[in-house]
Amino acid sequence: MTQSASDNYKGVWGNRIGFGTKAAVLVIDFMKAYTTEGAPLYAPGVVAAVEKTPVLLEAARGNAVPVIHTNILYRAADCADGGIWVKKSPVMTAMVAGNPLAEFCESVEPLAQEPVFTKQYASAFFGTSLAPMLHAQGFDTVILAGCSTSGCIRASAVDAVQHGFRTIVVRDCVGDRHEGPHEANLFDIDSKYGDVVSLDEAVSYLKNGN
């Protein structure tokens, strides 16, 4: 009999790491390219995640938990600063200044005082000073929202644990263009790299446990 994935992983993967003592919320790449119908990157799952994320942001901001944002933006001619990635995934060349698709989504955009890390690749940590900034201020936990689950969320989750952070992904606040990759990557992140939690669980921690 063929085992289910959960049965196959049971007792091997899936240990819970839990929240730490000092967290930051990391909102990854909520850009209009993913929420504009007809755009090549349009992802219905991201639209749903954007709708849920203001609740997470309100809980963080109301309890003095820092909120950090990322975006993708290319500045070199022909998006050369995207290297091989934009050759493999040329759809990403929409992420240039002046393109409305490269703007932040309404309702989840950064506040004036919230830092924005601009990146050219999938991970929020690759080629940025995000990890040193968090370490310098004593953060031990990152709570991830954003998109896409199979791309920049997964890459950032893997890098987060490799940089020594407890990694929490809020299921309701991440999205993808298809349910299959979305669920597969949440399963894998929860099994190996961090904890996938509900919005209610994340909000409870932000209000009571941070």
Catalytic annotation on 152? yes
| pTM confidence score | 0.95
Catalytic residue among 79, 105, 152, 173: 152
Query: Where does residue 77 rank: exposed (0-12), middle (13-18), buried (19+ CB within 10 A)?
Result: exposed
pLDDT tops 70 at residue 210: no
pLDDT tops 70 at residue 73: yes
- 150-169 per-residue burial string, b: 16 or more CB within 10 A, e: under 16: bbbbbbbbbbbbebebbbbb
Condensed to tens digits (0 to 9), the pLDDT of residues 33-43 reads: 999 999 999 99
Which residue ranges form the domains of the chain, and what is each CATH number? 19-208 (3.40.50.850)
Q: Sorting pLDDT into bands at 50, 70 and 90, what band is 89? A: very high
Output 5 or 40, whichever has higher pLDDT: 40
| Cα-Cα-Cα-Cα dihedral sign, residues 70, 75, 76, 77 | positive
- Strands of the sheet containing 195-197, edge to edge, are 116-119, 67-72, 23-28, 141-147, 166-175, 195-197
